Chain A
């Protein structure tokens, strides 16, 4: 039996247990959480589109013609009945010089794509805010943010923790690891077989999650806009996101597999690695290259937005280190993974069955 056949046999035997392990079922929750959020957003957008489409509409030209200072009557005469019309009175004036209560009115108009929110004070238009009901550009940025800040840093990170750390540690807790050690395979081959099983499971779960999330992102937008995006860079973006998710599983998987062999408590490696990854942008160039996240960010097709209003420390933690080129990033990540797997193979070679101490 060749080494590859042995690796595949081990992976095949392990796969079912990895996919349906009760101990790591919450991993599906992590992978599907952004899908649920984006699907919820998509459904909400569709419903709003439908609801607003049923009401009165104005022309885009009319929407662009709203100017501050005009009266309510003039607007109503020009644009007709608004989609939403709310009136209220502010009893306490902001300025002491003003007299009487402040009559406020808020109207919303819709031109089929955009909504205009008009604020009136004492019958005069004081502000106009026009925004598209759906902003594809903005949604894509939000997706990039969710993917990098949640999916890569937390979802895949903790998902791999749940899957890979149990490959050896879980079997020690179940007192069943010795069955693998009694098979006529080298320990290194066993390690690779188990790693492959974990990788297939984690990559399937998280690339599928990324693809579903991407689908949910596109769902509420106009088909023409979506088709144009997909035909230009959309499919490429999807492929890079899925590759980034898979590479995340490759990198984090190897680290947590090794951690499961070397340490009893998974919390310790998780916290240490999380801190290491978060502080990556502060580290010297050489050390940055020993981070999984550093390479993953370089593979992502859209840079994640950073809110300028966020606290400085948070912005520093979230800001990516100087990116590598995509192919250097992939090669670097595979290099780090090979290094970690080599260390793990040394550990598994000397691993002893001693369940009494678990």
Chain B
């Protein structure tokens, strides 16, 4: 039991005959963690297990040392914006956030102050007194986020939090995640927008068919995948010359020259050896403007690990 991590120990969840997640062993440290996987892979089940909305059939699970079977304690440190696009009937955005805070035991004036502050953080102050039922999809997403952060939780769980947000609010929301994580808190989210996940996640958990396929920092996960050659994109003055030099190296599997003659895609089995070769070529006088890892991102990991199931 860890007071700073979320720990899954051989956790399985079945919905009758249907598998939710199977034998999950995980330790999630503070920071931004993204759950990535196809629809029905078990992302929401993992989140619901952490929040105690569903219970594991096997195994044990603690969230910063607290069992999800103890909602009285757990919910003091946990905020969860679920995927369910509904709010209690007739409530305004402000009422919705306020109700949650009153249940946390805040006095009414304090709860009102916090509710407005939370709405302000998600840029929803002006619509606070409107009924949630009349909100757009993006606004509902934001009001759920406001409710989840209103009591300043240590663990923030967000199911597809960027869905339906416009680019500006999306950027603000990502900044909010970063701010939260910087304070040593957990921000756990699921997303299908892989490029974004790649940008702001400290670590990813790839999940498919209820099983954890990979977990860790994106670069580390990628390095472990030796069966897939690493891909690099090189910008150089003479791509053909650089390609010919690289072909002499045994670790280079493939090189493709772009039609412009200046872009080169290289696939290598040994990243360190590739790095050394590149240094050698540069020292020999060949001009290399930039080197970019082309598959060190969630999208590539997703493709390699989950592949056609995406």
Contacts and interface: CB of A to CB of B under 8 A. Distances in A.
Nearest to A357: B15
Contact of B71 (A13, A17, A185): A185
Interface in B247-305: none
B72 A184 contact: yes
A91 interface: no
Contacts of A183: 71, 75, 100, 103-104
Given A174-B88, A175-B86, A13 B102 contact: yes
Contact of A354 (B54, B76, B78): B54
Given A352-B53, A354-B15, A184 B102 contact: no
B100 A174 contact: no
Contacts of B55: 350, 352
B63 interface: no
A353 B54 contact: yes
Interface string A1-21: 100011001100100110011
A174 B103 contact: no
Interface in A217-259: none
A71 B63 CA distance: 99
Q: Is the interface of B mostly helix, strand, loop or mixed?
A: mixed
Interface residues of B, number: 31
B84 A182 contact: no
Contacts of A5: 105
Contact of B52 (A176, A181, A189): A181
A178 interface: yes
B73 interface: yes
B80 interface: yes
Nearest to B20: A354
Contacts of B105: 1, 5-6, 9, 184
A355 interface: yes
Contacts of B72: 184-186, 189
A175 B53 CA distance: 13
Interface string B69-110: 001111110111010111111100000000110111100000
A178 B71 contact: no
A185 B103 contact: yes
Interface in A161-212: 171, 174-176, 178-179, 181-187, 189
Contact of A10 (B53, B85, B88, B103): B103
Contact of A182 (B54, B86, B100): B100
Given A185-B71, A185-B72, A178 B88 contact: no
Q: How large is the interface on A (under 10, 10 to 19, 20 to 34, 35 or more residues)?
A: 20 to 34
Given A181-B52, A353-B54, A176 B103 contact: no
A182 B82 CA distance: 10
Nearest to B52: A181
A70 B100 CA distance: 84
B51 interface: yes
A20 to B, nearest CB: 8
Contacts of B125: none
Contacts of A189: 72
A176 B53 contact: no
A182 B55 CA distance: 14
A13 B105 CA distance: 13
A176 B88 contact: yes
A182 B75 contact: yes
Contacts of A352: 48, 53-55
Contact of B86 (A21, A174, A354): A174
Nearest to A171: B88
Nearest to B157: A182
Nearest to B16: A357
A355 B76 contact: no
B76 A181 contact: no
Contact of B53 (A1, A6, A186, A353): A353
Contact of A187 (B71, B82, B99, B100): B71
Contacts of A355: 84
Q: Which of B48, B80, B87, B89 has the most CB of A within 10 A?
A: B89
A355 B86 CA distance: 12
Interface of B: 15, 48, 51-55, 71-76, 78-80, 82, 84-90, 99-100, 102-105, 147
Given A183-B75, A186-B71, 11 more contacts: A174-B86, A175-B84, A179-B87, A179-B147, A182-B53, A184-B75, A185-B71, A185-B72, A189-B72, A352-B53, A352-B54
Interface of A: 1, 5-6, 9-10, 13, 16-17, 20-21, 171, 174-176, 178-179, 181-187, 189, 350, 352-355, 357
18 contacts: A9-B103, A13-B103, A17-B88, A21-B89, A176-B86, A178-B53, A179-B88, A181-B51, A181-B52, A184-B71, A184-B103, A186-B71, A186-B72, A187-B71, A350-B55, A352-B53, A353-B48, A354-B54
